[in-house]
Chains A and B, each alone.
Chain A
Amino acid sequence: MKMNVEGNTVRVSGVKELGAANANQVRDEVKAVMSKGQKNIDFDLSETTFVDSCGLGALISIHKTACSHQGALRLLHPLPPVQQILELTRMHRIFEIVKP
């Protein structure tokens, strides 16, 4: 996983899978960076081939943290399997999703 800070925004990328095995770690690492003052998260999902319900939970947690900082979480370029999960759970109505 890579994280780059650009002004008020943290860009997260390079997450191949977001599931039970790594969701907590990803969540904690992103929130640790946000504790240093950044308020927006751009989570690049263009390389993420799978997200399960645990991964969704991590994204929800990150989303809540961004909102508490008066910021926002954007999900960038989700692949079709990930978009499917977002739509099945209706989270596509909650998250801001940027498609290619």
Chain B
Amino acid sequence: MSLGCDFAEVQPAAAALRTFLASHGCSPADASDCEIALVEGCNNAIKYAAGKGRLLPVQVRISCSAREIAITIEDHTPGFEWPLQAKLPLPDQEHGRGIFLIQAVMDEANYTIGSAGNRLWMRKLRVPDSPRSPDWSG
């Protein structure tokens, strides 16, 4: 899906993600984690877009298999160096928790800078439903 450079488009994208993951039988916990990662990734893509980059859409791709959920966000920001492990800012700092949250809820994430745009790729390994779930087949 494509998002305009507008924060108002992020929550509808999150809702679409929830619907998509639910239709693929993802657990509520996995869906919640992916929603956090998607929102934080899109927020950064929009916040830091500059110049002509603000006229270009943020491209979001989501894939879901039995084993994992993958989310890709393509942005048109100047790009930045992805930290190996983001640290939380001081408690009174109002910014700087987005990447930490992505890394906290996703199993893997990386960011590549390209001439035509940058790409944030995030992956969540799916957890089987609990034994009491009717979908459990283990």
Contact = CB atoms under 8 A, between A and B. Distances in A.
A85 B101 contact: yes
A57 B94 contact: yes
Contacts of B134: none
A53 B101 contact: yes
B36 A91 contact: no
Contacts of B112: none
Nearest to B8: A21
A61 B95 CA distance: 10
A76 to B, nearest CB: 20
Nearest to A64: B92
A44 interface: no
Contact of A84 (B32, B40, B98): B32
Given A53-B40, A84-B32, A19 B95 contact: no
B94 A85 contact: no
Contacts of A93: 91
Interface string A86-98: 0011110110000
Q: Which bucket holds chain B's interface residue count? A: 20 to 34
Q: Main secondary structure on chain B at its contact with chain A?
A: helix
Interface in B4-56: 7-8, 10-11, 14, 32, 35-36, 39-40, 43, 46-47
B40 A81 contact: no
Contact of A20 (B47, B100, B105): B47
Interface of A: 17, 19-21, 50, 52-54, 56-58, 60-61, 64, 81, 84-85, 88-91, 93-94
Interface of B: 7-8, 10-11, 14, 32, 35-36, 39-40, 43, 46-47, 88, 91-98, 100-101, 104-105
20 contacts: A19-B43, A21-B7, A21-B8, A50-B11, A50-B35, A52-B36, A52-B101, A53-B40, A53-B43, A53-B98, A53-B101, A56-B94, A57-B97, A58-B94, A60-B92, A60-B93, A61-B94, A81-B32, A88-B104, A90-B91
